[in-house]
Amino acid sequence: MKFHIVPFGCQMNRSDAERIRTVLSGMGYTECEDENDPDVAVKGLIACSVRQKAIDRVYGRIRNWNQAKIHKPCLTFITGCVLPADRDKFLKMFDLIFPIDQLTDLPDMIRQYGVPTPGSMSHNHSLGDEIPDEGREDSETAAPEVIPFTIGAPEVGMPGREEARERIEEFWKVRPSYGSVTEAFVPIQNGCDKFCTFCAVPYTRGREVSRPSKDILSEIRNLIDGGCKSVTLLGQNVNSYGLDKDGGELSFPQLMREVGEIGRQTGAEFWTYFTSPHPRDITTDLLEVMSEYPVLANWIHLPLQSGDDKVLLRMNRNHSMARYRAVVNDIRRLLPDASIFTDIIVGFTGETEDQFEATASAMREFRYDMAYIAQYSPRPGARSARWDDDVPKEEKERRFRYLSQLMQEISTPLNSARVGRVMRVLVTSEDRKSGYYSGYTEGRIPVRMAAEGLRIGEFADVEIVAARPLSIEGRAAAGITAGDVR
Ligand code: SF4
């Protein structure tokens, strides 16, 4: 018997997928890459609710899966970031729906539900083309009561922090089935207390809960002992790591110092990343710790979202541009080789042309190495969804194209300045271009390299020979060691 899972969205979902794999493998299923394989008995989606496009992809997938189920029995489930507004619709399309922190109950749910037969399928599931009005509980073949779906706005059914802690700590105890020996995601936190008005995460993942540091450090130690070269610490708001435990846990800078010490004690070469920090909470002592340990990578993902104070206020980001600028100045002072990535939203509700211009001007000022730019779309349940989505679609597209072009204009000279240097690169995979490998620098600049003299899964000194707008090209450096450059 086989299973197939599809994680949509962010790295946290990909990390969650690694634990789902472990649970399903523990039941005797084997993973199958081909969702159409006739032996696939369980199919699962890990949903992302950040943008409507991601939700549309869920509908597209389950429509196909349910059509296939007419001919071949199969159990489907959905978990991850699911908004209350989507939950009822998904309940009618999937066999199981559960919050990720109840993953350890999945074997019981599957056993009790069983794999539906084609006959039962036609009774109680929408194919996804049309959502039936009646709820599944009225159906003849309704699922048993084991489906414990509990997401919702905090005031209407989200578990409190302590309940959330108990559940997510059970989840974290599941040993992940890592997707790669070379690169690993390590969750350090779940949920978010920030309530940015455009964001649904606090409503889908609940209150901030920090994973015990001893478990995080032991997982990292094992990964490094196993030859892992790149570790990414994951959380919705990593800088507030530990704050939910009232002094009973390390702070984020202290946690990073301990990771740095693993590097010092083992002498291993690896890069440690974290995502995402919040500009409000990032501290100078974190940057000082990062400057002390070579295994703490020279890379910061610092979400800007908007370059205008009034928009930041309406986004409930709780910091000003002056604060953001001070953080960037600190990064440039303490980590002069660090690359800075960011996230930007264009067309947020009420964003004027001048406010958009302020964002463009912030991009020019901070000279990001990479910006992930998104067009605003209201998320049902998030606060901004109650406000007019009043920037026309065409205008959002124009602003998106403008910033995308600006990003290329900023990164092209940065990448050109890398040509002729020898840089340390982690070689991660085969490139689409035959005879080439892909990888990235410590600052996460994508590199395409002639494969000769290089090995996937290893660090290499690479001479940069060409620059493209958002990446660079190189070849193995013969007898030259990488300099201290990003
Ligand atoms: S910090 Fe804001 S954008 Fe990030 S997860 Fe929390 S609410 Fe969402």
Q: For residue 137, what is the domain's CATH number?
A: 3.40.50
| Closest approach atom of ligand 1 to CA 316 | 2
Residues 139 and 175 in one domain: no
205 CA closest ligand 1 atom index: 5
Q: What is the extent of the structural domain holding 304?
A: 161-415
**Residue from 197, 237, 376 to probe ligand 1 pocket by mutation (most atoms less than 8 Å from CB):** 237
Question: From the alpha carbon of 200, which atom of ligand 1 is closest?
Answer: 8
**Beta-carbon count within 10 A of 186 CB:** 24
- Residues recorded for the chain: 486
**Strand partners of residue 174:** none
Tell me which of 31-40, 111-120, 141-150, 268-277 is least confident: 141-150
231 Cα–ligand 1 center, Å: 22
- Selected residue with higher pLDDT from 360 and 192: 360
Give residue 186 CA to ligand 1 midpoint distance, Å.
Answer: 19
Region at 128 (left for phi over 0; alpha for psi -120 to 50; beta for the rest): left
pLDDT at 125: 52
pLDDT digits (tens, 9 = 90+) for 72-126: 889 999 999 888 878 888 999 999 999 999 999 999 999 888 775 444 544 345 5
Please state, rounded to an integer, the average pLDDT across all residues of the chain: 89
Mean pLDDT of 149-158: 40
Same domain, 254 and 139: no
- Token readout for 38 is 């006739």
> Is 315 domain-assigned?
yes
Token pair of 463 as six digits: 């001479």
Q: Is residue 96 part of a domain?
A: yes
**Same structural domain, 349 and 411:** yes
**Domain end marker among 151, 180, 207:** 151
> Do 231 and 272 touch, CB atoms closer than 8 A?
yes
Cα 153 from chain centre? 21
Whether the per-residue pLDDT at 448 is higher than 90: the answer is yes
- Tell me how far apart the alpha carbons of residues 396 and 404 are, in angstroms, rounded to a whole number: 12
What spacing in Å lies between the alpha carbon of 472 and ligand 1's midpoint? Answer: 31
Ligand 1 centroid, distance to 414 Cα (angstroms): 29
Ligand 1 atom nearest to 278, measured from its CA: 1
Q: For 419-445, what is the mean pLDDT?
A: 97
Q: Determine the Cα–Cα distance for residues 273 and 213; give it in Å rounded to an integer.
A: 16
Neighbours of 222 (CB within 10 A): 12
In terms of domains, do 241 and 337 share one?
yes
Ligand 1 mutation target, pool 51, 189, 194, most atoms within 8 A of CB: 194
In this structure, are 15 and 69 located in the same domain? yes
The confidence score (pLDDT) of residue 343 equals: 96
Q: 299 with 339: CB under 8 angstroms?
A: yes
Q: Which of 80-89, 148-157, 391-400 has the lowest mean pLDDT?
A: 148-157
Per-residue model confidence (pLDDT) at position 255: 98
Tokens (6 digits) for 183: 């690169």
Q: Are 66 and 94 in contact (CB under 8 A)?
A: no
* Last-in-domain residue among 106, 133, 151: 151
**Which of 192, 208, 315, 318 to mutate to test ligand 1, by most ligand atoms within 8 A of the CB atom?**
192
Which atom of ligand 1 lies nearest, measured to the CA of 305?
Answer: 3
Q: Are residues 144 and 12 in the same domain?
A: yes
Q: What is the pLDDT of residues 346-377, one digit of tens each?
A: 999 999 999 999 999 999 999 999 999 999 99
* Residue that finishes a domain, picked among 151, 178, 201: 151
> For residue 446, how far is its CA from the centre of ligand 1 (angstroms)?
26
Which percentage of the chain shows pLDDT scores above 70?
89
Gap between the Cα atoms of 95 and 139, Å rounded: 13
Ligand 1 centre to CA of 34 (Å) is 34
The predicted pLDDT at position 163 comes to 80
Residue 225 forms part of a structural domain: yes
Q: Pairing relation of β-strands 436-441 and 446-450?
A: antiparallel
Q: How many alpha carbons lie under 13 Å from residue 348 in its C-beta half-sphere?
A: 26
- Examine the pLDDT at 51 and tell me if it is beyond 90: no
Is the residue at 486 inside a domain? no
**Exposure b/e, 411-436, CB count within 10 A at least 16 = b:** beebbeebeebbbbbbbbeebeeeeb
From the CA of 143, how far away is ligand 1's center (Å)? 34
Q: Identify which of 195, 197, 201 to mutate to test ligand 1's pocket (most ligand atoms within 8 A of the CB).
A: 201
Nearest CA to ligand 1 atom 8: 199
- φ, ψ of residue 106 to 5 degrees: the values are -55, -45
Residue 266 has pLDDT above 60, yes or no: yes
At 157, is the pLDDT very low, low, confident or very high (cuts 50, 70, 90)?
A: low
Cβ partners under 8 Å of residue 88, min gap 6 = 135
CA of 202 to the centre of ligand 1 (A): 7
Indicate which atom in ligand 1 lies nearest the CA of residue 193.
6
Q: Within this chain, do residues 256 and 400 fall inside the same structural domain, yes or no? A: yes
If we measure between CA atoms, which residue out of 219, 250, 84, 102 comes closest to residue 164?
Answer: 102
Q: Could you tell me the distance, in angstroms and rounded to a whole number, from the CA of residue 155 to the centre of ligand 1?
A: 18
Question: Nearest residue CA, atom 5 of ligand 1?
Answer: 236
State in Å: Cα 68 to ligand 1 middle: 37
CATH number at residue 440: 2.40.50.140
Residue 56 in any domain: the answer is yes
- The verdict on residue 156 lying in a domain is no
Distance CA 206, CA 129 (A): 30
Per DSSP (E only), the strands in 289-434 are: 299-301, 339-346, 370-375, 422-430
Q: What pLDDT sits at residue 483?
A: 59
Residue 53: pLDDT band with limits 50, 70, 90: confident
Mean pLDDT of 384-407: 97
Q: Are the C-beta atoms of 215 and 233 separated by less than 8 Å? A: no
Distance of CA 158 to the CA centre of its chain: 22
CA 206 / ligand 1 centre spacing (Å)? 11
Q: Which atom of ligand 1 is found nearest the CA of 317? A: 2
The rounded distance, in Å, linking the Cα atoms of 289 and 259 is 10
For residue 158, name the pLDDT band (cuts at 50, 70, 90).
low
295 conformational bin, left if phi > 0, alpha if psi -120 to 50, beta if neither: alpha
In a domain, 484, yes or no: no
pLDDT at residue 479 in the model: 66
136 pLDDT more than 80:
no
Q: Determine which of 114-123, 299-308, 370-379, 386-395 has the lowest per-residue pLDDT on average.
A: 114-123
Percent of the chain with pLDDT over 90: 74
CATH of the domain at 257: 3.80.30.20
**Ligand 1 interacting residues, C-beta cut-off 6 A:** 192, 194-196, 199, 201-202, 236-237, 278
185 CA to centre of ligand 1 in angstroms? 19
Asked whether residue 481 is domain-assigned, the answer is: no
Q: Whose CA is nearest to atom 2 of ligand 1?
A: 196
In the chain, the number of structural domains is: 3
If asked whether residues 221 and 366 sit together in one domain, one would say yes
| CA–CA distance, 299 with 450 (Å, rounded to integer) | 25
**Any residues with CB less than 8 A from the CB of 122 and at least 6 apart, and which?**
70
Q: Is the pLDDT of residue 239 over 70?
A: yes
Say if residue 180 is in the same domain as residue 311. Answer: yes
If asked whether residues 141 and 169 sit together in one domain, one would say no
318 shares a domain with 392: yes
- Average pLDDT (449-466) is 96
Mean pLDDT in residue range 222-237: 96
CA of 329: how far to CAs of 153, 254, 361, 365, 382, in Å? Answer: 37, 22, 16, 11, 32
Residue 320 shares a structural domain with residue 201: yes
